[in-house]
Amino acid sequence: MSRMRAPMVVGRADLPARVRIWEVGARDGLQNEKTVVSSATKVAFIDRLSAAGLPVVEATSFVRPDRVPQLADAVEVMAGITRRDGVRYPVLVPNLRGLDGAIASGVRDVAVFASATDSFAQRNLGRPMAEQMAMFAPVIEAARGHGLPVRGYVSMCFGDPWEGTVDPGQVVAVCGDLLAAGCTELSLGDTIGVATPGQVLDVVRRLLDSGVPLDAIGVHFHDTYGQALANTLAALSSGVTTVDASAGGLGGCPFAESATGNLATEDLVWMLDGLGIETGVDLEALAATSRWMAGELGRPSVSRVVQALGE
């Protein structure tokens, strides 16, 4: 029996006509890998992702090498990639030193990483949530002064492993602070993968009611409890048009036992293709890239679509 290579297309009038996929595999997907991936492999991975039609390929982080050893080669990676016209290659920067390094490497897009809970801010940033903007505001201001767009990641938007339920008001407040400081867009992170569709609808509605522009909102779901695609569909039904995903489902959450990691880009593209939503992504090329990267890492891809399409 031959396998289907593409889904049947049945659209929905209440969903966006086009979705921008923000590919995070090369940064978020690889950063927790225990075996160091060579710079050449990272460069090839990024180039293959952009060649597959992804409009945004998050490349690396300009962080201290001792904090994230996997991404210690940020300068080499940015020097090695082939920058395609119309493709964005954002990087994560934690401070002014990281921003300076990114700008020196020709980066034109940066992101900062905030928290919607005090517990995670303490563990990830070494300071309480109330003080995180003192860390980010100078970075955002300097980046905007150089004409760079700045994405504000907000982690633990839907649940926290230490605090449990997260007050949506905290999410709204942090998002408001980031936008007020100069961020041009946001990414709502379901860091431990516990969100459900109703919760997603509620948080997006609260953000819109607070005055956050719809086109500034992106979503970043983990599939720990198998809810990532359902949550994505809920976000799309609210009008959200930017969705983070990781090729082959690379990346896991160190705070959630047995976490299956990020939403796999291939699984997302299959769903969007079936809904008639444009992405510009070549699914076969993307799946081939994920199979290749899985071989480099020595394990099979967790993406259901990569598995189903086979060789």
What percent of the chain has a predicted confidence (pLDDT) above 90? 87
HEC letters along the chain = CCCCCCCCCCCCCCCCCECEEEECHHHHHCCCCCCCCCHHHHHHHHHHHHHCCCCEECCEECCCCCCCHHHCCHHHHHHHCCCCCCCECCEECCCHHHHHHHHHCCCCCEEEEEECCHHHHHHHHCCCHHHHHHHHHHHHHHHHHCCCCEEEEEECCCCECCCECCCHHHHHHHHHHHHHHCCCEEEEEECCCCCCHHHHHHHHHHHHHCCCCHHHEEEEEECCCCCHHHHHHHHHHCCCCEEEEEHHHCCCCCCCCCCCCECEHHHHHHHHHHCCCECCCCHHHHHHHHHHHHHHHCCCCCCHHHHHHCC
Residue 253 lies in a domain: yes
The whole-chain average pLDDT of the chain stands at 94
- Looking at per-residue pLDDT, the higher value among 58 and 129 belongs to 58
* Per-residue pLDDT at 1: 43
253 flagged as catalytic: yes
Give the mean pLDDT of 283-289: 98
Selecting among 157, 175, 183, 253, the annotated active-site residue is 253
Please say if the pLDDT value at position 3 is more than 80. no
Give me the domain span that covers residue 246.
Answer: 20-309
Please say if the pLDDT value at position 299 is more than 50. yes
Please tell me the least confidently modeled range out of 26-30, 65-69, 241-245.
65-69
Give the mean pLDDT of 208-218: 98
Residue 233 lies in a domain: yes
* 114-140 per-position pLDDT tens digit: 999 999 988 888 888 889 999 999 999
Residue 272 lies in a domain: yes
Q: What's 195's domain CATH number?
A: 3.20.20.70
Residue 298 lies in a domain: yes
* Per-residue pLDDT at 32: 84
Residue 77 lies in a domain: yes
Give the mean pLDDT of 219-242: 97
Residue 25 lies in a domain: yes
Please say if the pLDDT value at position 67 is more than 90. no
Please say if the pLDDT value at position 34 is more than 90. no
- Looking at per-residue pLDDT, the higher value among 136 and 261 belongs to 136
pTM: 0.96
Residue 82 lies in a domain: yes
Count of the separate structural domains present in the chain: 1
Residue 179 lies in a domain: yes
* CB 88, CB 55: distance < 8 Å: yes
Q: Which two three-digit tokens encode residue 213?
A: 């522009």
